[in-house]
Amino acid sequence: MTQPIKGFSKLSKEQKIAWIGENYTENVQNTKDILRQYWNNDPKLQQLHDEFIENTISNYYLPFGIAPNFLINERIYAIPMAIEESSVVAAASKAAKFWLDRGGFKAEVIGTEKVGQVHFIYTGNSENLFRFIGKIRPSFYAEAKSITEKMEARGGGISSIEIKDKTDLLPNYYQLHCTFETLDAMGANFINSCLEQFATTLKAKADRDGFLKEGEKLEIVMSILSNYVPNCLVRAEVSCLVSDLSLDTTIPPEKCAEKIVQAVGIANVEPHRAVTHNKGIMNGVDAVILATGNDFRAVEAGVHAFAAKDGGYKSLTNASIEDGVFRFWIEIPLALGTVGGLTSLHPMVQLAHEVLQYPSAKQLMEIVAVAGLAQNFAALSSLVTTGIQEGHMKMHLLNILNQMKATKEEKTTLVSYFKNNTATHSAVVEALDKLRENL
C-alpha cells in the first residue's frame, strides 16, 4: 500500500512525476513519456502553464475548434469552442448555417447584476439589527473605498447592501445580501474583497459601538460571492415563418415546428428529459466559456439553479408558434469576464478573444447564449426528425477507428463508406474487420 507523502508541493516537477510513476502507475518510463510529450516546447510558455495551478506535472489538451457563420445582431462571428465531445462543433455550425439565411440570432443582455453575501449569526433582537445596519451602511461603502475606487472610476462598484433575516430557515442566521456591477471583469476577487471588508466593518462596529447587549453574540460565519446570478441575464432568440422551418425532406415544416414545441414542453414537465435537454445547451455554453478562459463550473452551477428557480427543474429554452411564425429562445444567467484572469495570460484564450473581435463582457454573454441556443436547436432538430444517433455517430466515427488503430487508408475508406450507411459501434467494427480480411 502506498504511503502518504509529506512535502509533495516542494518537490521539483521531475520528482513529482517520478513519485507518481513509481507509486501509482505500472510503467514509470511510459508515465514520464506521456506527461512530457504534452509539455510546451517553449520553456517560458510551459512555466506560464505550470504556474496556473499547483503541483503541475503536464498540460491536458482539449480540441480547440471553430463554429463559423454565426449571424448575431447583424454581425458575423466565428465562435471558438474547446470541447472533447464529438458532434458539438458540427451541430453548432449546422445551426448557424441554418439560421444565417433566416435573419440570424438576436441577443440582448437583460441585466449584469452580480451577488455576494456576508453570512453571520446574531442572537439579539432583529429589529435592533436592522436599525443598526441602516445606521452603519455608509461605513460599508466608505471603508471599502480603497477596493472600489478603480472599479467605480470605470462605472462599476457596489450596487446595494441589504440585511436579510433568515432565522426562519436557520436559528439566528442573517446575511448581508450585496449586489455589484463589475463591467468587463468577472469580478470574483473584487466581490470577495469587498465582502470581507464588509464583514470586518460589521464586526468592528458591533463590538465598538455598544450595539451588542449583555449575552448577545454577532459572529461572522463566512463572506463569499454567489454563483447564482439570476439578474445577470441574457436572452437570445431566432424566429422564422413556420413554412421556412425545413429540417427534413420527409417531414413537413409545420410538423417539425410542432414537434420542437412539444419537445420543449416535455422538458418543462419531465426532469429526466430536462437535465439532458439542458446538458445539450451547456455543450455549447461550456465550450465557448472554456475557450475564452471563463469559469464553466460557476456558470454550470448558476444555470442549473436558474433552471429550478420555479420549484421544479425545467428547460432553459422556450419555443412557440404564433400567427404562422416559429420562435425559439433562451434566457440564461451568465457572469462572464473579458479582462483579468486567464484572458491576459493564456495565449489560446487571448486568441479566442481576438477571433471574437475582442468582445465586451456583455457581447460575450450574447455570444455564449447564442451558442447554447444553437446547440439546443441542432439537438432538437435531430431528435424530432432522424434521431440523435445518426449524426452523432458519424462524428464519432474517427474516435472508434482510432480506438481500433485504423490506418490512414482504412479511415479514408470507412469514412466514405459510412456517408451512406448507418454508423454504430458494432457496424464500424464489422466493416473494419471485413476491410482487413480483404487486404
User: Which of 13, 85, 258, 270 does the annotation list as catalytic?
Assistant: 85
Question: What average pLDDT does the structure give for the chain?
Answer: 93
User: Which of 279, 304, 346, 411 does the annotation list as catalytic?
Assistant: 279
Q: Is 295 a catalytic residue?
A: yes
pLDDT digits (tens, 9 = 90+) for 176-199: 999 999 999 999 999 999 999 999
Q: Is 85 a catalytic residue?
A: yes
The model's confidence at residue 413, banded by pLDDT at 50, 70 and 90, is confident
Residue 238: what are its φ and ψ, rounded to 5°?
-135, 160
The model's confidence at residue 215, banded by pLDDT at 50, 70 and 90, is very high
User: Which of 114, 314, 362, 392 does the annotation list as catalytic?
Assistant: 392
What fold does the segment set 114-226 form as a domain?
Alpha-Beta Plaits (3.30.70)
Scan for cell 503541483, then name that residue. Answer: 55
pLDDT digits (tens, 9 = 90+) for 148-178: 999 999 999 999 999 999 999 999 999 999 9
pLDDT digits (tens, 9 = 90+) for 287-322: 999 999 999 999 999 999 999 999 999 999 999 999
What fold does the segment set 64-110+235-386 form as a domain?
3.90.770
Chain region(s) in the chain for CATH 3.90.770.10 = 64-110+235-386
Strand partners, 106: 237
The model's confidence at residue 439, banded by pLDDT at 50, 70 and 90, is low
Strand partners, 121: 173, 219
CB 66 within 8 A of CB 78: yes
User: Which of 181, 196, 286, 295 does the annotation list as catalytic?
Assistant: 295
Residue 194: what are its φ and ψ, rounded to 5°?
-60, -45
CB 394 within 8 A of CB 423: yes
In angstroms, rounded to a whole number, what is the distance separating the alpha carbons of residues 229 and 334? 7
pTM of structure: 0.89
Chain region(s) in the chain for CATH 3.30.70.420 = 114-226
Residue 98 grid cell: 441554418
Asked if pLDDT for residue 390 goes beyond 70, the answer is no
In angstroms, rounded to a whole number, what is the distance separating the alpha carbons of residues 52 and 343? 12
In angstroms, rounded to a whole number, what is the distance separating the alpha carbons of residues 141 and 157? 10
Q: Which long-range contacts (CB under 8 A, 24 or more apart) does 77-81 make?
A: 77/356, 77/357, 77/367, 78/355, 79/288, 79/356, 79/367, 79/371, 80/288, 80/291, 80/292, 80/351, 80/352, 80/355, 80/356, 81/284, 81/287, 81/288, 81/290, 81/291, 81/371
Asked if pLDDT for residue 224 goes beyond 60, the answer is yes
